[in-house]
Amino acid sequence: MFKGSFPALITPFKDGVLDEEAFRAFVKWQIEEGSDGLVPCGTTGESPTLSHSEHMKVTEICIEEANGQIPVLAGTGSNSTKEAVDLTQHAKRAGADAALVVTPYYNKPTQKGMYEHFKAVQDVGLPIIIYNIPARSVIEMSCETMAELGKLPNIVGVKDATADLTRPQMTKIAMSGTPFCHMSGEDGTAVPFLAAGGDGCISVTANIAPRMCADMQRAWREQRLDLCMDLQDRLMPVHNALFCETSPGPVKYAASLLDKCTSDLRLPMIDIAETSKKIVRDALVGAGLLN
């Protein structure tokens, strides 16, 4: 069962191309800072603008640098079932511990269509985390569909980005005791999600505050609630700042302030506004992440 803080990794670019050196160093830093797992090639990693070869390279580098120290959940989702299967097959060959697969965006499949999509991907034989993010995919998987998928051998959990704190409980009721991993996909609700029965968070903020995010999750597991709540209070302004514009613009700018990579984005993403840069910088200073 996956649990704790899993950063949804940014993908560093330099002069328009993948910055492999910066990405390797970034993965190593995440591990040193105590992250519980890593998620390359998700939305935060700008997967929609990566070529297939870049997508595979980023996954391979992350797995290589992790070297079995912590699990890697490789982003392999697509609105094309065949493409999602192909990327999941690659992740399995590369040695990923699981795949993060988003609900098929743009196509707007029915619940039955989503079931068949995920069934085809799980047939690859790699554990699958469903990524339920209605705000970006325009569809929402129901608790009942998720419960049906949970009966399949390789559907093992969900990244829930609905911000609906009833979801862990309602899904568990629908699953009638089937083991299932519930990971929040919304940093702002990370602790309430744990209280509602969640297991951790696949996090944007953990890109720039990996130690604090991991410590907050660990404090919850160890029932050190005062520490957990203190860390949540310190991180909340950072969570808000990192979504002052469309992600990953703000978090890439934050990473550049920490000298982890450039703030370069790929079109149609563009550099965040000066007013947003001030919001991000002030939040990092306030949380003690930047002098």
Residues 6+ apart with CB under 8 A from 217: 3, 4, 5, 36, 190, 194, 200, 201
Instruction: Please say if the pLDDT value at position 285 is more than 90.
Output: yes
Q: Which two tokens stand for residue 56?
A: 């595979």
pLDDT attached to residue 103: 97
Backbone angles phi, psi at 127, to 5 degrees: -55, 140
Going from the N-terminus, what domains does the chain have, and what CATH number goes with each?
4-224 (3.20.20.70)
The string of pLDDT tens digits covering residues 97-120 is: 999 999 999 999 999 999 999 999
The string of pLDDT tens digits covering residues 113-144 is: 999 999 999 999 999 999 999 999 999 999 99
Q: Which two tokens stand for residue 40?
A: 């390359």
Instruction: Please say if the pLDDT value at position 259 is more than 90.
Output: yes
Evaluate whether 12 touches 19 at the Cβ level (below 8 Å).
yes
The dihedral built from the CA positions of residue 157, 29, 205 and 51, taken in this order, carries a sign that is: negative
Evaluate whether 22 touches 10 at the Cβ level (below 8 Å).
no
pLDDT attached to residue 1: 78
Q: Could you tell me the pLDDT band of residue 223, with boundaries at 50, 70 and 90? A: very high
pLDDT attached to residue 176: 87
pLDDT above 90: percentage of residues in the chain: 96
Cα separation, 167 vs 122, in Å, equals: 22
Backbone angles phi, psi at 75, to 5 degrees: -70, 120
Q: Could you tell me the pLDDT band of residue 196, with boundaries at 50, 70 and 90? A: very high
| Three-class secondary structure of residue 45 per DSSP | coil
Cα separation, 55 vs 175, in Å, equals: 33
Kindly report the pTM of this predicted structure.
Answer: 0.96
The string of pLDDT tens digits covering residues 7-45 is: 999 999 999 999 999 999 999 999 999 999 999 999 999
**Unique residue bearing structure tokens 């049906």:** 148
Cα separation, 24 vs 8, in Å, equals: 15
* 89-95 average pLDDT score: 98
Which residues belong to the active site? Answer: 131, 159
Mean pLDDT value across the chain = 97
* 217-235 average pLDDT score: 97
Q: Which two tokens stand for residue 116?
A: 């068949």
Q: Could you tell me the pLDDT band of residue 177, with boundaries at 50, 70 and 90? A: confident
